[in-house]
């Protein structure tokens, strides 16, 4: 379909994005890579000696590293699961005819507007707190003991908070995609006697796969670097039960101001993110083709 | 859209959707309610839902303590600026990838996304030094640049997905009618792509609006957006939930209104699609 | 869309901000968002009246964000700030690097000898003052007089830990939602680690021996943690492992805590009838000690104003620091908001002022606590570091937070006390080896 002419034009159109991102990647990433081999603490001026792999060695052999790696994956997968399934269901619901559709859509999208620190503070203090929280109040009203969310199930609680924030993103993308679904095709299927479930499985889901893929990929990027929610609620504790890789990098970079160690952690985080992305692409990448 | 719907079904949908919508919205509603309480009422048990002493005290305090309009204006410039520049760069790229896919399109897309995986803290020091050298610290220009770069991969990706959903037969028909590349993009593609572009715009404005790492660390007083405004109210010594709620409500409100408008835009885009 | 956007831009164009031009010097001041600092911003007309040639730009932020920003800026010589609010933790570290301008030549009216000796020592390096204290705090016990009476006990002025445990047991009434003791549990070097470090000091423990070897494997640390966890499990509120200063403050103000051991600065919050349900029932006592151990569990902290070296506006910055931390400033606050709201804990003269002593029931004990805290000799056994509730080395923020996570796990019951202390020992040894302290 594409002519020689349009190919050249296409290349021209892609190049600004590629060049910009290439610069953005190569300059800071190159510097990060360089710093990761130095003994460089921001609070210790003077010569920054080359120390080889020492920063990497200390980051990877940190006893919290394995836990953090597992927590990172659990966090990403948990939120993805809730938001994709919830997002599809919500998008389907919101696509139905109803009164006040516009308002309901805004209500559903609204959590995405809230800054992560604020939503973490609100959830922690006004909902999950075992003495003052609304959940505790509900539990007491039904005669149950209040559940101490952030101590007994810290990671789960954080997944809940993050999923609440990201559900609107999935819903909005999927809803937009649903709207481009050909209604004639639906009607034809309906006339052929396909029930609602069959229509959902054979028409809607295939139509949504590409959008679902994008939801998963984009969310993964953000979820791998979840930080504010953890910092505000549990500070990575109790123990390392809610520490993720980003939190470890943060501790190196902005608590100790260890630029070398933080850079090594950053590079490792990039590698992990890329591995996750490659696995994801293997699993769902074919959906991206037309 | 021509399908028949019974009133009963519509009522059922309405009840269910409003129920779910209100449940999801509740934490925000609670924040807004709390912003009108006294600090004492804000932490009262049992919680006070509507029957408390309503007060505007928190808003008065918040405004006395900080320059909301300055932060608000910085947020608008930074988030809209970075999103619009990002869209201008990304629309051609996404268009080309969607309609003239090459062998490496998927790899390029993947690579773009991978630049997004670099954790900010890792590159804070080099960026800070560069900003210092070029005099970009605490300027809106600097922040627009950073946020454009950060969000560009996301914008390209989202647009790419939406463009992919536009049937290529329509393009071919236009091409056969003798449309040039330019008019093809302007008159055929763009109208059909409006819902996609609108939701990309909305989502990216929100992402930029809430970006709280670079906007906090690269600014001081002149270019600080609403994230800094929030950071001046969260977690001081003493009770602060009501005041924080008031500040949060003020930070959310503008984007809620923007969401309302672009939400209408999304629906309008739909009617374009139906014309085909 | 365009019309909406245009409307939005139009509305905001009205609010465009003109920068004041002219012979004025503009200085940028970074501060933490606590009540005393916010009060200062409201009192700025007084400063402008006295110094019309200086304009102040405020950057007010919560503690953690503030710390990240000013540290990044000063270490890269970014020059964004002319005055920075920093704590007793940063001052010795930064002064050693030559990043702070010395405040030796402040005007005579500043009266440097009036500063409380322990605070002055905490903000000095090699005998030179590098930051001027805005307020200072130690730690003490806040307790409910009514509940103490109901329990049939009287709080001594110098209670022991054993007494605290006994009182906590008697005051606790979980059915009524009353918890005998509220203490910090949220992980963080400035949260539970700060509290537990001072508590451990009073049990005779220390962070490091003279060769920088961590001491978590010693008996005093085990005693501290066992005592803390046992008491909190029996008498503490649910969710204690996520309670920091703010969470405990709201619990206490709602009348849910019998006793609370925390910063002296909270004294004015818990006695403020507008915020506290129990304002009239609050008593104060010295932080507890252990029988037979000659060290009290008092910490020492101060938010202080410092000037980074290399600022172009050093003279104006000094003028501002002098104004904000002067004796006159205390009088100014007193005249506007009353003596109880004066920033506490910086000047001896304040504690000799009968009006202040009358307005602030916690004043005498605050002073006594601050005098007892000695950052240069924080522990029973000698240590190579400075700092009571912290260790003033750059690595401490990271180590303190990792160790705090272990302590909060022990409190939450997700790990045993022995395991938590073993991990703390391992984490600290590792980091200290990495940083080159342990050869």
The structural domains of chain B, ordered by start, are 67-275 (1.10.3720.10)
List, for residues B162-196, the tens digit of each pLDDT value. Answer: 888 777 777 777 777 777 777 776 777 777 787 78
Task: Decide which of C351 and C35 is more confident.
Answer: C351
Candidates C8, C420, C354, C390; CA nearest to C201 is C390
Distances from the Cα of C146 to the Cα of C65, C174, C279, C300, angstroms:
39, 17, 11, 29
Residues of C in contact with B128 (CB under 8 A): 72-73, 76, 78
Whole-structure pTM value: 0.87
Report pLDDT digits (tens) over B232-263: 887 766 667 888 899 999 988 888 888 777 76
Taking only residues 121 to 150 of chain B, the set having a beta carbon closer than 8 angstroms to any beta carbon of chain C reads: 124-125, 128-129, 132, 137-138
**Residue A14: per-residue pLDDT:** 81
The dihedral of CA A55, A58, A61, A66: what is its sign? negative
CA distance C59 to chain B (A): 6
> A78 CB near a chain C CB, below 8 Å?
no
Other beta carbons within 10 Å of A88:
22
Give the pLDDT score at B271: 43
pLDDT at B266: 60
Q: Which residues of B touch A174 (CB under 8 A)?
A: none
> How do the domains of chain A map onto residue ranges?
1-35, 51-288
Could you tell me where the beta strands, DSSP code E, fall in C297-369?
Answer: 301-306
Residue A169 in contact with partner chain B when CB distance is under 8 A: yes
Does the pLDDT of residue C16 top 70, yes or no? Answer: no
> Across the interface, do B212 and A14 touch by the CB < 8 Å criterion?
no
Q: Using the beta-carbon criterion (under 8 Å), do C35 and B233 form an inter-chain contact? A: no
* Residue B23, pLDDT above cutoff 90: yes
- How far apart CA C198 and CA C180 sit, in angstroms, is 20
Lowest-pLDDT choice from A135-139, C294-298, C405-409: C294-298
CA gap A118, A111 in Å, rounded: 11
Give the neighbours of chain A: at least 3 Cβ pairs within 8 Å: B, C
Opening angle at CA B119, ends A282 and B138, nearest 5 = 140
How far B198 CA sits from the closest chain C CA (Å)?
9
Neighbours of chain C (3+ CB pairs under 8 A): A, B
Q: Per the structure block, which two tokens stand in for A282?
A: 């293997």
Residue A177 has pLDDT above 70, yes or no: yes
Q: Kindly list the distances between the CA atom of residue B79 and the CA atoms of A6, A219, B113, B143, C81, in Å, as whole numbers in the listed order.
A: 33, 20, 20, 9, 25
Task: Tell me which chain B residue has its CA closest to the CA of residue C245.
Answer: B237
Query: Looking at domain A51-288, which of 3.30.200.20, 1.10.40.30, 1.10.3720.10, 1.10.10.10 is its CATH number?
Result: 1.10.3720.10
- Asked if C187 and A236 count as a contact pair (C-beta separation under 8 A), the reply is yes
pLDDT of residue B36 exceeding 80, the answer is: yes
Q: Checking phi first, is residue C436 left (phi over 0); if not, alpha (psi -120 to 50) or beta?
A: left
Q: What is the pLDDT of residue B65?
A: 84
Question: Is the CB of A257 inside 8 Å of chain C's CB atoms?
Answer: yes
Please give the residue of chain A at the shortest CA–CA distance from B34: A126
Q: For each of the domains in chain C, give its residue range(s) and CATH number, in order of start.
A: 22-137+301-359 (3.40.190.10), 139-297+393-434 (3.40.190.10)
Residue-level pLDDT at A3:
62
Residues 176-205 of A with CB under 8 A from C: none
| CA separation for the pair C433, C427 (Å, rounded) | 10
Tell me, yes or no, if A102 comes closer than 8 A to chain B by beta carbon. yes
> For chain C, what percent of residues have pLDDT higher than 70?
95
Q: What is the pLDDT of residues C227-283, one digit of tens each?
A: 999 999 999 999 899 899 988 998 999 899 999 999 998 998 899 888 788 999 999
- Minimal Cβ distance to A237: which of C177, C395, C405: C405
Model confidence pLDDT, tens digit, residues C174-208? 989 899 999 999 999 999 999 999 999 999 999 99
Q: With bands split at pLDDT 50, 70 and 90, how would you rate the model's confidence at B136?
A: very high
Q: In angstroms, rounded to a whole number, what is the distance separating the alpha carbons of residues A253 and A235?
A: 15
What tens digit of pLDDT does each residue of C82-124 get? Answer: 999 999 999 999 999 999 999 998 999 999 999 999 999 999 9
Verify whether the Cβ–Cβ distance A237 to C187 is below 8 Å: yes
Q: Does C394 touch chain A (CB under 8 A)?
A: yes
C364-417 pLDDT, tens digit each: 999 999 999 988 899 999 999 999 999 999 999 989 999 999 999 999 999 999
pLDDT of B2 > 50? The answer is no
Tell me which of B92-101, C71-80, C204-213 is least confident: B92-101
Alpha carbons C257 and C144: distance in angstroms, whole number: 8
Q: Is A93 at the interface with chain B, CB within 8 A?
A: yes
Q: Which pLDDT tens digit goes with each residue over C306-323?
A: 999 989 899 999 999 999
Residue B232, chain C, CB below 8 Å: the answer is yes
- Residue C56: pLDDT over 80: yes
B54 in reach of chain A (CB within 8 A): no
> Which residues on chain B are in Cβ contact (under 8 Å) with C80?
137-138, 220
Query: What is the distance, to the nearest Å, from the Cα of residue B103 to the centroid of all Cα atoms in its chain?
Result: 32
Distance from CA of B236 to the nearest CA of C (A): 5
Strands (E), C62-213: 83-87, 124-125, 128-129, 132-137, 139-144, 179-182
- Is B125 touching A (CB cutoff 8 A)? yes
Tens digit of pLDDT for each residue in B123-135? 788 888 889 999 9
């Amino acid at each position: 379909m594409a002519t020689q002419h349009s190919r050249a034009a296409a290349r021209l159109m892609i190049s600004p994005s590629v060049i910009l991102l290439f610069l953005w990647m190569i300059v800071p990433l190159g510097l990060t890579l360089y710093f990761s081999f130095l003994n460089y603490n921001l609070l210790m001026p003077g010569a920054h000696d080359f120390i080889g792999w020492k920063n990497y060695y200390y980051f990877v052999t940190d006893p919290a590293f394995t836990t953090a790696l597992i927590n990172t994956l659990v966090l990403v997968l948990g939120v993805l699961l809730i938001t994709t399934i919830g997002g599809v269901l919500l998008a389907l619901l919101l696509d139905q005819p109803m009164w006040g559709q516009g308002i309901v859509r805004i209500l559903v999208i609204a959590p995405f507007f809230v800054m992560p620190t604020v939503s973490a503070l609100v959830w922690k203090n006004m909902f999950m707190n075992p003495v003052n929280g609304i959940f505790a109040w509900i539990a007491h009203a039904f005669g149950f003991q209040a559940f101490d969310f952030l101590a007994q199930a810290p990671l789960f609680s954080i997944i809940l908070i993050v999923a609440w924030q990201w559900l609107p993103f999935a819903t909005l993308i999927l809803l937009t995609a649903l709207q481009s679904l050909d209604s004639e095709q639906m009607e034809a299927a309906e006339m052929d006697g396909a029930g609602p479930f069959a229509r959902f499985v054979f028409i809607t889901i295939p139509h949504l796969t590409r959008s679902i893929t994008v939801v998963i990929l984009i969310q993964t990027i953000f979820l791998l670097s979840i930080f504010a929610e953890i910092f505000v609620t549990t500070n990575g504790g109790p123990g390392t039960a809610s520490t993720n890789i980003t939190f470890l990098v943060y501790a190196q970079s902005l608590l100790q101001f260890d630029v070398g160690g933080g850079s090594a952690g950053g590079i490792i985080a990039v590698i992990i993110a890329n591995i996750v992305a490659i696995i994801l692409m293997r699993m769902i990448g074919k959906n991206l083709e037309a | 859209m021509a399908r028949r719907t019974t009133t009963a079904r519509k009522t059922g949908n309405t009840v269910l959707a409003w129920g779910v919508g209100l449940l999801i919205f509740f934490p925000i509603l609670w924040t807004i309610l709390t912003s009108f309480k006294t600090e004492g009422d804000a932490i009262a048990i049992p919680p006070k839902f509507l029957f408390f002493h309503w007060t505007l005290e928190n808003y008065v305090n918040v405004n006395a303590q900080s320059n909301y309009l300055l932060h608000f204006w910085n947020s608008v410039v930074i988030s809209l600026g970075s999103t619009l520049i990002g869209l201008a760069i990304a629309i051609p790229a996404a268009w080309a990838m969607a309609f003239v896919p090459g062998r490496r399109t998927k790899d390029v897309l993947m690579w773009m996304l991978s630049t997004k995986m670099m954790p900010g803290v890792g590159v804070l020091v080099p960026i800070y030094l560069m900003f210092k050298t070029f005099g970009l610290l605490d300027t809106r220009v600097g922040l627009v640049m950073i946020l454009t770069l950060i969000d560009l991969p996301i914008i390209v990706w989202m647009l790419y997905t939406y463009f992919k959903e536009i049937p290529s037969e329509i393009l071919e028909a236009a091409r056969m009618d003798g449309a040039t590349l330019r008019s093809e993009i302007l008159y055929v593609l763009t109208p059909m792509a409006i819902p996609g572009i609108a939701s990309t715009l909305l989502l990216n404005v929100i992402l930029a609006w809430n970006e709280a790492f670079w906007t906090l660390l690269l600014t001081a007083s002149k270019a600080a957006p609403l994230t800094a405004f929030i950071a001046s109210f969260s977690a001081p010594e003493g009770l602060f939930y009501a005041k924080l709620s008031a500040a949060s409500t003020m930070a959310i409100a503008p984007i809620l209104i923007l969401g309302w408008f672009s939400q209408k835009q999304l629906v309008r885009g739909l009617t374009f699609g139906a014309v085909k | 869309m365009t019309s909406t956007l245009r409307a939005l831009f139009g509305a905001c164009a009205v609010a465009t901000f003109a920068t004041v031009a002219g012979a004025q010097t503009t200085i940028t001041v970074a501060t933490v968002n606590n009540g005393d600092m916010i009060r200062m911003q409201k009192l700025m007309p007084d400063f402008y009246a006295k110094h019309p040639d200086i304009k102040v730009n405020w950057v007010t932020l919560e503690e953690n964000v503030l710390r990240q920003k000013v540290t990044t800026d000063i270490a890269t010589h970014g020059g964004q700030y002319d005055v920075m609010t920093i704590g007793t933790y940063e001052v010795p570290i930064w002064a050693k690097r030559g990043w702070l301008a010395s405040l030796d030549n402040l005007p005579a009216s500043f009266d440097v000898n009036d500063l409380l000796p322990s605070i002055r020592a905490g903000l000095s390096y090699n005998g030179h003052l590098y930051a001027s204290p805005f307020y200072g705090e130690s730690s003490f016990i806040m307790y409910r007089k009514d509940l103490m009476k109901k329990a049939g006990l009287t709080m001594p002025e110098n209670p022991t830990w054993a007494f605290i445990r006994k009182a906590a047991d008697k005051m606790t009434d979980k059915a009524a939602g009353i918890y005998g003791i509220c203490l910090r549990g949220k992980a963080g070097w400035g949260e539970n680690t700060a509290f537990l470090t001072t508590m451990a000091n009073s049990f005779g423990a220390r962070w490091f021996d003279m060769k920088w070897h961590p001491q978590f494997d010693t008996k005093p640390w085990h005693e501290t943690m066992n005592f803390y966890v046992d008491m909190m499990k029996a008498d503490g509120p649910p969710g204690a492992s996520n309670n920091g200063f703010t969470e405990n403050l709201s619990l206490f103000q709602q009348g849910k805590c019998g006793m609370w051991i925390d910063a002296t600065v909270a004294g004015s919050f818990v006695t403020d009838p507008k915020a506290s349900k129990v304002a009239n029932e609050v008593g104060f006592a010295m932080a507890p000690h252990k029988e037979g151990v000659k060290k009290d569990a008092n910490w020492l902290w101060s938010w202080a104003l410092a000037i980074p070296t290399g600022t172009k506006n050093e003279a104006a910055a000094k003028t501002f620091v002098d104004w904000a931390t002067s004796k006159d400033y205390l009088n100014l606050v007193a005249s506007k908001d009353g003596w109880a709201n004066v920033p506490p804990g910086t000047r001896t003269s304040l504690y000799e002022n009968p009006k202040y002593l009358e307005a602030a029931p916690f004043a005498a004990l605050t002073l006594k606590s601050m005098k007892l805290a000695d950052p240069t000799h924080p522990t029973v056994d000698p240590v190579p570091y400075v700092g009571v509730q912290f260790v003033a080395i750059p690595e401490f923020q990271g180590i303190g937070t990792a160790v705090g996570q272990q302590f909060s796990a022990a409190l939450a019951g997700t790990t045993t006390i022995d395991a938590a202390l073993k991990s703390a020992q391992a984490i600290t040894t590792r980091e200290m080896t990495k940083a080159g302290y342990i050869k």
